[in-house]
Structure 1
């Protein structure tokens, strides 16, 4: 019996099958596969999404912080560009699964960890996203607090004034996230051009204030040898990769709406590395300018903002607030809210998941993470990269190497389906994750293996790929080509006349 339709490389469930699945405890309106009509995102939508998320304050702080570490401008740019090209590979590989089968990340994780085991990678991703949510709220709140301090002399005398602003800005972010992930489509379209223009204005200020490119980019590297540079380069590269390692996992949450594979591949391949490279250059150039003007490298944009007149602080605060909200809703709410929702799909909604995400964000103490650059890139980015690298590896290995892009879509929503494994857990995925995390961690305790920890995301990814492929080599859940063709009705756009016709062709 045909239980799914593949049209021009995109698989959907026929309406009758979807109706049958509505009583499943693994099904709800947020987690179900997208319909043909919902595959509406074109290249512009993905470009706007990435531009809006890349033009964010954490990108600026990551880039400018490398100047404070001792890199010169071209060393920092090279590190950031290379890291983004590397992380683009798993982003595109996982995007293919979301586009083809229209499933969100927590459902995708059922494929490699089982219906219950999927909570492990989903919650790991959720905790990291909650931490980023808190960081962006803290940055936005800091800008607002700076504006109020510059505008009202009595503001700084109010007890806990920063905490008050943080709480109010937290509520604003939660309120927007409450409306669901489709809100980001409109928000990104508005934020992207505003942030782009603001970045150009900031660069012009740096250029004119420093007296040209020469003084702007004159900060020399503090490293006197290649070996000394590499000591900072590899941990920094891991931090850059880890910066988007979260999106490499939950990119199916967005690509499930893609109109075609080409739309998401081309737009993401261009928008991510180019936007990150250009905006990082602005952060690096402006930070180098602060050395010329103020005598110190100011990597925190909120501290830099405080040195300007109130009107400029107002404009800067507006830009930071837009940036913080855009990246929070786009990159840091959807994944954890979906993961929390997936714990109990019949009772927990996306909106409830968004609220719980916000509470997790507070527990992550973003004020501590942002207290210095070392905590930010080596502590925060480096540590969670060691966790997410192996999960990225397992996702890639399962979809591309083990299953070869074939799955039974209906079974992902069946408690007794082929992806239930043993009591809902695919122990092969669990074992591959443990191996992928444990081996790089050895570098923390064995000095000659320190390089493995400094490149934990990369080592963890490849180790987990090899481990998972080996462990899954004879797994009965894997569909053969013949089995896939037996359950799939292949068609194309010209032969599809109506949903009713599709249903009749599939269920007959």
Structure 2
């Protein structure tokens, strides 16, 4: 039976598997514009800019950069659309969809892994936003002295204060659930586009003009990229392939839980339009602006500045610097709410549906991000951090997509996802095939390349892809070997 979003309440649903937030979506008011702004909110952040600018250095020229980012963006569109369609058709969030492949209790494994990743990113994005505010404040001599002289928990006291303030502001956005999230990201994403363009135009004018000719010398590029763990010299085929792979991996967490948003989409057509404009078109244009800004900033200041707050801190105008800091902070709030609050809110709620709802799940994620701040595990190179986080996600994605498209052919009994003794109970609620396949995939995508020297040095760059392929193939083999037959088309 093909379930749908109007099946509510679910017949024979277990109270340990459902609450109002986990039930299939009943309101479908996230049209193409809202889906588009999911991506503007997700991409237009300080970390998104930092990654795009960092990857620009590996390409050696604008043409190479647009080629690598363009190919990567098309791959992202295809992968995200696969997950999005599952959300539209079933109306369920990611941890509930995961029950179809991992079992009604086994789904807590991918849900908790995704939630932990979200907590790391929540802290990273909050730190980036607070850093933009700090960069503005230390233009004042007194605050600069305070920043340099007072320290707490491994950071300056000023950094700690700004982090806590930004951290708290994000909690206000989700007070009224997903509808508030939609309204916030519908204006936050476009606002950042305006600021990014102003930043690029300001620097281009200040540099006396712009050419697409790469003006950053090769010796500077080599120095800036020598410890990034990316194979090949800037502009080589190996470097370009790595750029595309890292760009794809950056979105690895949202490949899992994009259905948290697409479930509110009224049709697959709206999803397609929103994804088309929000992913390949928006990603390429945003990356282009990041590249233009990086070159113009080098021409103006004589150094490679990868963080937008580093650039805005050099502005002569206080007004421009203030506008930039506020906009970047808002942008980062946008991506945190979209990518790193919504997912763990549903993920933690899935573990204890009776005790935890959407708000409580989000508060738990925010608290973990606050606890992580003194340790700052996100500090370091952008490429290293993205690969470390992303590679754990690939195997889960591989299992879920093979199950949904190759085993079930896109047909799921939605009601059974909420029934304790239904189709998805498997072995006492845990599907051994899925857990084994995902575990083997994580071993090869993340554990072996991260903790040993067994794998070649370039393996980690493509770890997400290896994880998807290994876990997906193993899961399909285990399912078919044990008698599972694909659902007739």
Same fold (TM over 0.5): yes
Secondary structure in 1 matching 2:177: coil
Length, aligned pairs only: 467
Q: Separation in 2 of the partners of 1:383 and 1:458? A: 13
Q: Separation in 1 of the partners of 2:414 and 2:263? A: 13
Provide the residue aligned with 1:485 in structure 2.
Answer: none
CA separation of 1:102 and 1:209: change in aligned 2, threshold 3 A? same
Higher deviation after alignment, 45-54 or 292-301: 45-54
CA separation of 1:417 and 1:453: change in aligned 2, threshold 3 A? same
Residue 283 of structure 1 deviates from its aligned partner by 1.4
The equivalent position to 1:429 in structure 2, one of 414, 434, 437, is 434
CA separation of 1:113 and 1:351: change in aligned 2, threshold 3 A? same
Are residues 1:105 and 2:110 paired? Answer: no
2:15, 2:353 within 8 Å by CA — same for their partners in 1? no
Task: Please list, as runs of the form range in 1=range in 2, the aligned pairs for 1:137-152 lying within 5 A after superposition.
Answer: 137-151=126-140
Provide the residue aligned with 1:387 in structure 2.
Answer: 392
Provide the residue aligned with 1:324 in structure 2.
Answer: 332
1:5, 1:14 within 8 Å by CA — same for their partners in 2? no
The equivalent position to 2:362 in structure 1, one of 354, 360, 366, is 354
Are residues 1:471 and 2:468 paired? Answer: no
Q: Separation in 2 of the partners of 1:132 and 1:14? A: 34
Q: Separation in 1 of the partners of 2:207 and 2:375? A: 31
Provide the residue aligned with 1:32 in structure 2.
Answer: 23
1:47, 1:271 within 8 Å by CA — same for their partners in 2? yes
Are residues 1:196 and 2:193 paired? Answer: yes
Are residues 1:294 and 2:301 paired? Answer: yes
Secondary structure in 2 matching 1:258: coil
Residue 175 of structure 1 deviates from its aligned partner by 2.3
Q: Separation in 1 of the partners of 2:2 and 2:438? A: 33
CA RMSD of aligned residues (A): 2.6
* Deviation by residue 1:376-431 (Cα, 9 ceiling, x = unmatched): 212x1111222111111111101000111112111111111110111211010111
Are residues 1:313 and 2:304 paired? Answer: no
Q: Separation in 2 of the partners of 1:235 and 1:447? A: 20
CA separation of 1:237 and 1:409: change in aligned 2, threshold 3 A? same
Residue 315 of structure 1 deviates from its aligned partner by 0.4
Higher deviation after alignment, 194-203 or 105-114: 194-203
Provide the residue aligned with 1:377 in structure 2.
Answer: 383
1:134, 1:366 within 8 Å by CA — same for their partners in 2? no
Task: Please list, as runs of the form range in 1=range in 2, the aligned pairs for 1:34-183 lying within 5 A after superposition.
Answer: 34-35=25-26, 38-68=27-57, 71-151=60-140, 153-154=142-143, 156-157=145-146, 159=150, 160-183=157-180
Q: Separation in 2 of the partners of 1:350 and 1:141? A: 25
Residue 303 of structure 1 deviates from its aligned partner by 1.7
The equivalent position to 2:412 in structure 1, one of 407, 415, 420, is 407
Provide the residue aligned with 1:505 in structure 2.
Answer: none
Are residues 1:341 and 2:338 paired? Answer: no
TM-score, L = length of structure 1: 0.85
CA separation of 1:477 and 1:252: change in aligned 2, threshold 3 A? farther
2:124, 2:378 within 8 Å by CA — same for their partners in 1? yes
TM-score, L = length of structure 2: 0.88
Residue 251 of structure 1 deviates from its aligned partner by 0.6
Residue 85 of structure 1 deviates from its aligned partner by 1.8
Residue 75 of structure 1 deviates from its aligned partner by 3.0
Are residues 1:280 and 2:298 paired? Answer: no
CA separation of 1:311 and 1:227: change in aligned 2, threshold 3 A? closer
Residue 292 of structure 1 deviates from its aligned partner by 1.5
1:57, 1:301 within 8 Å by CA — same for their partners in 2? yes
Residue 14 of structure 1 deviates from its aligned partner by 4.1
Structure 1: gaps spanning 5 or more residues: 483-508
The equivalent position to 2:253 in structure 1, one of 242, 246, 255, is 246
Q: Separation in 2 of the partners of 1:326 and 1:216? A: 33
2:2, 2:411 within 8 Å by CA — same for their partners in 1? no
Provide the residue aligned with 2:227 in structure 1.
Answer: none
Structure number with bigger Rg: 1
Higher deviation after alignment, 200-209 or 152-161: 152-161
Residue 39 of structure 1 deviates from its aligned partner by 2.0
